[in-house]
A and B are shown apart, each in its own frame.
Chain A
Amino acid sequence: MPDPAVGDLGPEALAYADALHNLARYLTGNDTDAEDLVQETYSRALGSAGQFTPGTNLKAWLFRILRNTFISQYRRQRGNPTVGGLDTVAPIGYGPADVGRAKDEVELDRLRKVMAEEIERALMMLAEDARTVILLDLEGLTEVEVAHVLGCAVGTVKSRLFRARAALRALLKDWKR
């Protein structure tokens, strides 16, 4: 039997189409696959609307479906070259060499000149997990919500975000102009 809440869920669920498409575009890297992924996400959401608990976070639930769909279908099919990429190459922390005022000043100066397309290019070079955590954070999801999407602990989200931002900074810092 259909869940009576399916129809009620529609307007709110559809309001997240832009946010979902944005993440889908960054995951798949192209418009056609992004549209397919969003369409499949809503298809699956509709099919399992009965499993959604009213009052819980619909946005995080939809993001979770989108990411799981991407992992189960698109990534496997297309052999995403960025899997296991940057942010997992080495633990990026703040060693003694990183703690330098002149170095930070140069980095600050470079960051201020970064253009939109350079951010996109750098994001696409990150590992999928790193890219996802940055985009979900940018979307305004809390760490608890991101943890729900990624299916991991809140502490893991924190460390992933830390590493992802460090990897992104490293890419933008070394950008050749």
Chain B
Amino acid sequence: MDCHDVRDHLLDFQRGQLGGDVATEVRRHIDGCVECAQADLVERELTLLLERRTPQYPAPIGLKRRLMARWPSAPAAGAPTARRPWPRVLVPAALAAAVLLLLVPVAFQLLSPHSQATAVMVSEAVNDHVRLLQSQHPLEVESSGIHQVIPWFTGKLDFAPGIRFAGDDEFPLRGGAVGYFVDRKAAAFVFGRRLHTISLFVFKAEGLSWPTSGLEHLGREEIYQSSARGFNVLLWREGELGYALVSDVNAQDLKLLAAKLSP
């Protein structure tokens, strides 16, 4: 295998998509070739760059509301299969009712002080995640080994941010950093999911307004799922510690990781 072959295989190699023999050959070549080792670094840097700094344009709230209002919650029996779902034949009163149905629960949620406090937690989790992504050096300790990452926090926090999941092929651990969550210090663990980044913030749970409704069972814990600005957020507490999992991966993937963290 020469340099050209290796360059052709670099991306697949980095993503673990090469077969055993080919992967070994590429690895061996990179270990012995300074130029290809450097090219390997460049390709990895491009991936990191795209993952962390590509501006994202999530759908505006107004668009989401319009889409929600127009997608039928259940099929109307006998209704014609229209190519466009919101033709003019829609009765205005029905539209107004649909909007009301949509807005009343939202307004109710917004008016509840407890919900507002929970929304702050969700928003803060997203802020912390974005801050981590945009940071020049997001990881203060870069390691896929949980036994390197957890001891690194010693002396930097006034609690032990023990987590049970050490990362695997599906969700590799990339490292950690000290961050903040609302008004307190937090241990930030960073996991990967394909090309996406998932942040797990662990912090002292006391004094925060934890959600009491809309919870669902996952593993041993009750989790609260929400989303903000295109990011999915899971919140749960376990004893004295609180956990916030944030990413732009879909909610199912995030729950998969949460289940591993709280088996």
Say whether A associates with B. yes
Please determine whether B70 and A93 come into contact, CB atoms closer than 8 angstroms: no
A interface secondary structure, majority: helix
Please determine whether A15 and B42 come into contact, CB atoms closer than 8 angstroms: no
User: Which residue from B45, B78, B84 sits with its C-beta under 8 Å from A111?
Assistant: B45
- Taking CB atoms, residues of chain A closer than 8 Å to B85 are 42-43, 46-47
Chain A CB within 8 A of B88 CB: no
Chain A CB within 8 A of B212 CB: no
User: Which residue from A21, A93, A137, A168 sits with its C-beta under 8 Å from B63?
Assistant: A21
Please determine whether A34 and B57 come into contact, CB atoms closer than 8 angstroms: yes
Residue of B nearest to A105 (CB): B38
- Taking CB atoms, residues of chain A closer than 8 Å to B104 are none
Interface residues of A in 73-117 (CB under 8 A from B): 93-94, 99-101, 104-105, 107-108, 111-112, 114-117
Please determine whether A138 and B195 come into contact, CB atoms closer than 8 angstroms: yes
Q: How far is the CA of A31 from the CA of B86 in the complex (A)?
A: 22
The size of the chain B interface, using a CB distance under 8 A, is 57
Please determine whether B59 and A21 come into contact, CB atoms closer than 8 angstroms: yes
Chain B CB within 8 A of A55 CB: no
Instruction: Give 1 or 0 for each of B52-87: 1 = CB within 8 Å of chain A CB.
Output: 011111111001101110111111101101111110
Chain A CB within 8 A of B7 CB: yes
Please determine whether B4 and A94 come into contact, CB atoms closer than 8 angstroms: yes
Chain A CB within 8 A of B3 CB: yes
- Taking CB atoms, residues of chain A closer than 8 Å to B250 are 15, 59
Please determine whether A165 and B11 come into contact, CB atoms closer than 8 angstroms: yes
User: Which residue from A14, A107, A120 sits with its C-beta under 8 Å from B67?
Assistant: A14
Please determine whether A119 and B49 come into contact, CB atoms closer than 8 angstroms: yes
Please determine whether B71 and A169 come into contact, CB atoms closer than 8 angstroms: no
Chain B CB within 8 A of A54 CB: no
Q: How far is the CB of A57 from chain B (nearest CB, A)?
A: 12
Please determine whether A7 and B74 come into contact, CB atoms closer than 8 angstroms: yes
Chain B CB within 8 A of A147 CB: no
Given contacts A15-B250, A17-B64, A18-B230, contact A116 B75 (CB under 8 A): no
Interface residues of A in 124-172 (CB under 8 A from B): 134, 137-138, 140, 158, 161-162, 165, 168-169, 172
Given contacts A7-B72, A140-B196, A165-B11, contact A120 B35 (CB under 8 A): no
Please determine whether B70 and A42 come into contact, CB atoms closer than 8 angstroms: yes
- Taking CB atoms, residues of chain B closer than 8 Å to A169 are 42, 46
Please determine whether A120 and B54 come into contact, CB atoms closer than 8 angstroms: yes
Chain A CB within 8 A of B193 CB: yes
Please determine whether B82 and A47 come into contact, CB atoms closer than 8 angstroms: yes
Please determine whether B72 and A6 come into contact, CB atoms closer than 8 angstroms: yes
Please determine whether A10 and B50 come into contact, CB atoms closer than 8 angstroms: no
Q: How far is the CA of A3 from the CA of B80 in the complex (A)?
A: 10
Q: How far is the CB of A48 from chain B (nearest CB, A)?
A: 8
Q: Which of A20, A50, A165 has the most CB of B within 10 A?
A: A165
Please determine whether A43 and B84 come into contact, CB atoms closer than 8 angstroms: yes
Chain A CB within 8 A of B241 CB: no
Given contacts A34-B57, A47-B83, contact A2 B76 (CB under 8 A): yes
Interface residues in chain B, defined as those with a beta carbon under 8 Å from any beta carbon in chain A:
3-4, 7-8, 11-12, 34-36, 38-39, 41-43, 45-46, 49-51, 53-60, 63-64, 66-68, 70-76, 78-79, 81-86, 134, 193-196, 230, 248-251
What are 8 residue pairs bridging A and B, where the CB atoms are less than 8 Å apart in the complex? A3-B75, A7-B75, A22-B56, A22-B230, A43-B70, A47-B85, A111-B46, A162-B11
List the 7 closest A-B pairs by CB distance, nearest first: A21-B59, A18-B230, A104-B38, A25-B57, A18-B58, A7-B74, A17-B59
Interface residues in chain A, defined as those with a beta carbon under 8 Å from any beta carbon in chain B:
1-4, 6-7, 10, 13-15, 17-22, 25-26, 31, 34-35, 38-39, 42-44, 46-47, 50, 59, 93-94, 99-101, 104-105, 107-108, 111-112, 114-117, 119-120, 123, 134, 137-138, 140, 158, 161-162, 165, 168-169, 172
